Amino acid sequence: MNHTETGTRDRPGGAALAVVVLAAGQGTRMRSALPKVMHPLAGRPMILQVLQTANALSPDRTIVVVGPNMPSLADLVTPHPTPVQTEQLGTGHAVLQARDALGNHSGDVLILFGDTPLLTVDTLTAVLAARHGPADPAVVVLGFRPDDPGAYGRLVLAEDGSLVKIVEARDADPETLDIDLCNSGVMAVDGTVLFELLDQLGNANAKGEYYLTDLVALARAAGRNTAVVEAPADELLGVNSRADLAIAEAVMQDRLRAAALSGGATLVDPKTVWFSHDTRIGQDTIVSPNVVFGSGVTIGDGVDVLPFSHLEGVTVADGARIGPYARLRPGTNVGAGARIGNFVEIKAAEIEAGAKVNHLSYVGDAHVGAGANVGAGTITCNYDGFTKSLTEIGAGAFIGSNSALVAPVKVGDGAIVGAGSTITRDVEADAMAVTRADQKSVASGAKRFRERRRKSRPTG
Ligand code: UD1
Ligand code: MG
């Protein structure tokens, strides 16, 4: 699957670029112990999505402003510097915390919010291009028109279309609230004046915070131009609540589905297939409804993924068939043309080309050779309560139904294990091993049993 965000781009203007990502807010509206920007989208923390997008611009440095007591966030964004904003005194105050990390940087400063993860590289490129437009605006703001402007800051434009100021919703009069052009939070600022302007910020507003948004009016007052670039609303959703997170996830999923389709996979019912940010699917693979791809899945060409299968940390080679109702867990590699059927769980196992595990099995910490057939209900007993051990099944071996393979154990190439066996010792190549008890049959025993029971049945 192709991700447009990954490739690097030529940057407009050619100036040095620093990116500052604001991520110090705990995100109280999320009602979570986890910092807001660490909540996952398509299987990874949203801040990493923001950083991946920023990274495509090849910035000279990227700084992530974090809150106190967020060591896990600082670890996550290593090696980027993570100045700490000890008190959340506002978005402008947050950018001030990047002063030391920015050092003598005098190029462009692109300010992003860690809670606005759906941005695309194309949009950021347009913002930087505007920053180097003929009017040399000191501040370029990325605007959008959401269906519900709600709590977003409003962009107040002059007659000539230039940006005069940003007014936060809480500070806005009814007329200003009627403006539908909103502040996304993304801003490109001329690095030579950034701190000069930030140092003038006050906090005489409804929240008593140092608003980054006031930079626009301050730049105008200093005689500089300012500008707006508009982008589609679905890129600029700010995630402030779990409801917003669900909307953002839906947008991400739609993008991933579209990428899979344009890459040549069939999704029978796209809305029911769930991807991770890193899912890769080859051409002519058919994904049936209700399939979930966890992180780290790579699927080859011409694979059939049947309904209700769950895959995570898995590679599947060309022409294999998975499911319905298969669960493939991390460390599993399925070879070309292999078949994994219904109610089969596979973990940390190599399933070689053409092998079949078709029904009701658990195969964990195992190697299944090419063309082997693992019968219904086979279990690899990989764990003795202390350690996990390996089960090796040779090429072309046949494991009869309802067998237990007690690891560590090896079944040689071409060997047969009789149904219902519990295998505790290695089976040589081409040998046949059976451990079940001998069968006893009593001729007419069933008939005599029924007659006895009928006679003793109470009457009345
Ligand atoms: C902000 C904007 C608003 C805009 C909206 C877009 C301001 C004053 N308001 O409002 O105009 O429409 O985003 O989504 O800028 N943060 C810090 N430190 C702080 C405060 C915030 O690092 O002291 C970070 C947060 O972690 C978050 C980002 O800045 O990543 C935005 O903060 P948030 O509180 O969500 O601002 P909004 O109220 O959404
Ligand atoms: Mg926000």
Ligand nearest to the CA of 24: 1
> Which of these, 151, 142, 82, 139, lies nearest to 118 by C-alpha position?
142
How many CB atoms within 10 Å of residue 369? 22
The residue type at 254: D
Is 446 exposed, middle or buried, given 0-12, 13-18 or 19+ CB atoms closer than 10 A? exposed
Please give all residues whose beta carbon lies within 6 A of any atom in ligand 1, as ranges. Answer: 22-25, 65, 85, 88-91, 93-94, 113-116, 152-153, 166, 168, 182-185, 211-213, 238, 240
pTM of the model: 0.92
Where are the domains positioned within the chain?
12-235, 242-433
Q: How far is the CA of 192 from the centre of ligand 1 (A)?
A: 23
For ligand 1, what atom is nearest to the CA of residue 87?
23
Q: How far is the CA of 400 from the centre of ligand 1 (A)?
A: 62
Nearest CA residue ID for atom 31, ligand 1: 113
- The dotted CATH code for 12-235 is 3.90.550.10
Q: How far is CA 164 from CA 141, 159, 188, 233, in A?
A: 11, 10, 16, 21
Instruction: Render each residue's pLDDT in the chain as its tens digit; 460 residues.
Output: 443 444 566 777 778 999 999 999 889 999 999 999 999 999 999 999 999 999 999 999 999 999 999 999 999 999 999 999 999 999 999 999 999 999 999 999 999 999 999 999 999 999 999 999 999 999 999 999 999 999 999 999 998 888 999 999 999 999 999 999 999 999 999 999 999 999 999 999 999 999 999 999 999 999 999 999 999 999 999 999 999 999 999 999 999 999 999 999 999 999 999 999 999 999 999 999 999 999 999 999 999 999 999 999 999 999 999 999 999 999 999 999 999 999 999 999 999 999 999 999 999 999 999 999 999 999 999 999 999 999 999 999 999 999 999 999 999 999 999 999 999 999 999 999 999 999 999 999 999 999 999 999 876 5
Nearest CA residue ID for atom 37, ligand 1: 152
Q: Indicate if 105 belongs to the active site.
A: no
Q: How far is the CA of 213 from the centre of ligand 1 (A)?
A: 10
Asked if 232 and 251 touch (Cβ cutoff 8 Å), the reply is no
Q: Which of 69, 73, 113 to mutate to test the pocket of ligand 1 (most atoms within 8 A of CB)?
A: 113
Nearest CA residue ID for atom 3, ligand 1: 153
Q: How far is CA 272 from CA 42, 269, 328, in A?
A: 14, 6, 18
The pair of structure tokens assigned to 5 is 């965000």
CATH class belonging to 242-433: mainly beta
User: Each residue of 278-289: b (16+ CB within 10 Å) or e?
Assistant: bbbbbeebebbe
For ligand 1, what atom is nearest to the CA of residue 184?
6
